[in-house]
Structure 1
Amino acid sequence: MLEKVNRMNELYDTYQELLTSKQKVYFELYYQDDLSLSEIAEQFEVSRNAVFDNIKRTGKLLEDYEDKLQLLNKREAREKIIDQMMLHTSDEQLVKWMNELQSLD
């Protein structure tokens, strides 16, 4: 379960600007603030099932964005390559540039 939560949060960090404000609010309350479906439903005066459907659709949408755009996978691949480069170089300027590259993500 923790892996799924981490994955959803990484996808959210990458693609949140493509979501509606309602999707963002429900998603953040559920995955980041750890509220239950019932607590969210009560707060917005909607059914628990409506909250569940919204969060489920939002998760699928985030996965679809990643399937098509691969931004998260590409970032992870870049980070691995930079980590390997940093292990095998002693050039201070090169290490500085690699650190700058990592900070862009």
Structure 2
Amino acid sequence: MKNLEISLLLDFYGDILTEKQKDAIDLYYNEDLSLAEIADHEGITRQGVRDSIKRGEAVLLEMEERLGLARKLRGLQEGISQIVQCAKDIEFYNREYHYSGQIAERASTIINIAAELSAD
């Protein structure tokens, strides 16, 4: 199975790659083409495609190590999930033990904001 992390990193940092590296990585990871198919498509050798992909992967991994944008995104997504779960817990406890319309409204607002943030 191909590394989905590289596909995500391509979305974040793909513009800093050469056009050949970006195309080769996109075709390999996102379009699921083989090295031979990419070589035919690009008019270069299979080894040339492999080298281009490996160099591009190294650049993407280095940029992620320096900037950490994908790591930060995963952290934000996890944080949003935790916020939603906490708000749902608040809604539940509010309903079960001491109902307050204000608490219910605030918990609902938190869940809606988190859903909007997750959709982006």
Name the counterpart of 1:38.
36
TM-score normalised to structure 1 length? 0.87
After superposition, residues 49-68 of structure 1 pair within 5 angstroms as 49-68=47-66
Task: Give me the whole-angstrom Cα distance separating, in 2, the residues matched to 1:93 and 1:64.
Answer: 39
Task: Report which stretch shifted further, 78-87 or 41-50.
Answer: 41-50
* Higher RCO, Cα 8 Å, sep 6+: 1
Alignment length (residue pairs): 102
Distance 2:42 2:14 in 1: 21
**CA deviation profile, 1:50-72 (whole Å, cap 9, x unmatched):** 11100001111110010000001
* 1:16 equivalenced with 2:29 (yes/no): no
Matched, 1:94 2:110: yes
The CA distance in 2 between the partners of 1:98 and 1:39, in whole Å, is 42
TM-score by length of 2: 0.77
**What secondary structure does 2:44 align onto?**
coil
Deviations 1:59-105 (CA, angstroms, capped at 9, x unpaired): 1111001000000111111111110110111311111111222233x
Query: Which protein shows a greater Rg?
Result: 2
Supply the RMSD in Å over aligned alpha carbons.
Answer: 1.4
Structure 1 residue 5: deviation in Å? 1.9
Stretches of structure 1 that go unaligned for 5 or more consecutive residues are none
